[in-house]
């Protein structure tokens, strides 16, 4: 049977609302997800003053700064997330988007740090992750093999999962490149290979599972029509529950590949060939 972990990425789809966070965590738990993932930014480190001062209409105000700060959780919120995750026995971790965020997350001793595709070449982040010795999941969207190899050489045995990924939101069918999972399995046989999804459908993840993906990461939302840049590429609650069921069934259906006659076929064989 396949062992495929489901990671429900809440990311910033919570829109700064802990009630939404808990609803999505409850859904992930009900669906049997291995864990949930967030994103953590030190806003002033990730964005320039000029960028933060630019006009932007959002539920929190009229500037980029107000929008970014409205979406960002601090120690108080992550403390509540950590407590709630423990209360329902659900793992959580996050993608740090700057070096300071790595230290912030390390205080919670998560099982993994996630290196997002956008951060694969950010040495400041990688240096902090190496310092803390965290186990790593990384995505390879918009990255070359050479860039990946540099990271693997640097982080050494800290890296456990490599996720095939295309960094478009949502990803078109013709850019999904699911066979990249097989390429990664061939090129990096000592690592666990998975798939990071940026499509609002579940069919691609079902195929990824059948191709042997050992982890499926996907954005989740209560409603794709909600405010937010990641909502359109996310899976709604009914889809999460359906995906979980499909992955379990695919795991059973793949079998061992051995040539066999099942016991349940014997009576049929006797009936149809016993003439």
Query: DSSP secondary structure string, 173-197?
Result: GGGT-TTHHHHHHHH-TTSEEEEEE
Whether the predicted pLDDT of 170 surpasses 60:
yes
pLDDT one-digit tens code per residue, 24-59: 999 999 999 999 999 999 999 999 999 999 999 999
Residue 189 has a CB neighbour count (10 Å cut-off) of 8
Name beta bridge partners: 162: 138, 193
pLDDT one-digit tens code per residue, 71-81: 999 999 999 99
In whole angstroms, what is the distance from residue 176 CA to residue 193 CA?
16
Q: How confident is the model at residue 3 (pLDDT cuts 50, 70, 90)?
A: confident
Q: What is the pLDDT of residue 274?
A: 80
pLDDT one-digit tens code per residue, 185-204: 999 999 999 999 999 999 99
Whether the predicted pLDDT of 1 surpasses 80:
no
Mean pLDDT for the stretch of residues 252-274: 92
Whether the predicted pLDDT of 275 surpasses 80:
no
Name beta bridge partners: 37: 9, 93
Domain that holds residue 218: 5-273
Q: Give the count of domains, the chain.
A: 1
Residue 168 sits in a domain whose CATH number is 3.20.20.70
In whole angstroms, what is the distance from residue 275 CA to residue 265 CA?
16
Helix (H/G/I), strand (E/B), else coil: 135: coil
In whole angstroms, what is the distance from residue 40 CA to residue 123 CA?
17
- Is the pTM higher than 0.75? The answer reads yes
Whether the predicted pLDDT of 21 surpasses 80:
yes
Residue 156 has a CB neighbour count (10 Å cut-off) of 8
Q: Which two tokens stand for residue 50?
A: 């000029």
Share of the chain above pLDDT 70, in %: 99
pLDDT one-digit tens code per residue, 118-159: 999 999 999 999 999 999 999 999 999 999 999 999 999 999
Contact 216, 250 (CB under 8 A): no
Q: What is the pLDDT of residue 199?
A: 94
In whole angstroms, what is the distance from residue 36 CA to residue 40 CA?
13
Q: What is the pLDDT of residue 88?
A: 97
In whole angstroms, what is the distance from residue 187 CA to residue 149 CA?
11
In whole angstroms, what is the distance from residue 196 CA to residue 235 CA?
13
Question: Strand (E) positions, 2-158?
Answer: 5-11, 35-40, 55-58, 61-63, 91-96, 113-115, 136-139
Q: Which two tokens stand for residue 181?
A: 């999972």
């Amino acid at each position: 049977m396949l062992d495929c972990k489901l990671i429900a990425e809440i990311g910033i789809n919570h829109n700064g609302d802990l009630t939404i966070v808990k609803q999505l965590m409850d859904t992930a738990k009900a669906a049997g997800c291995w864990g949930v993932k967030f994103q953590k930014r030190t806003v002033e480190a990730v964005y320039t003053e000029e960028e933060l001062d630019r006009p932007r209409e959002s539920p929190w105000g009229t500037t980029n700064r107000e929008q970014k700060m409205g979406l960002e959780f601090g120690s108080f919120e992550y403390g509540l997330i950590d407590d709630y995750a423990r209360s329902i026995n659900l793992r959580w971790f996050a993608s740090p988007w700057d070096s300071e965020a790595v230290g912030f997350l390390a205080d919670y001793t998560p099982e993994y740090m996630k290196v997002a595709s956008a951060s694969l070449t950010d040495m400041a982040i990688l240096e902090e992750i190496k310092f803390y010795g965290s186990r790593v999941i990384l995505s390879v969207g918009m990255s070359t093999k050479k860039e990946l190899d540099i990271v693997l050489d640097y982080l050494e045995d800290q890296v456990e999962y490599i996720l095939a990924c295309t960094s478009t939101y949502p990803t078109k069918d013709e850019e999904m490149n699911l066979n990249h999972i097989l390429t990664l399995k061939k090129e990096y046989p000592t690592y666990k290979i998975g798939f990071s999804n940026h499509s609002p459908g579940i069919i691609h993840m079902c195929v990824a599972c059948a191709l042997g993906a050992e982890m499926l990461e996907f954005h989740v939302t209560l409603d794709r029509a909600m405010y937010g840049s990641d909502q359109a590429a996310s899976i709604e609650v009914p889809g999460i529950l359906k995906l979980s069921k499909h992955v379990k069934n695919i795991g059973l259906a793949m079998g061992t590949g051995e040539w066999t006659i099942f016991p349940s076929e014997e009576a049929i064989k006797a009936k149809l060939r016993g003439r």
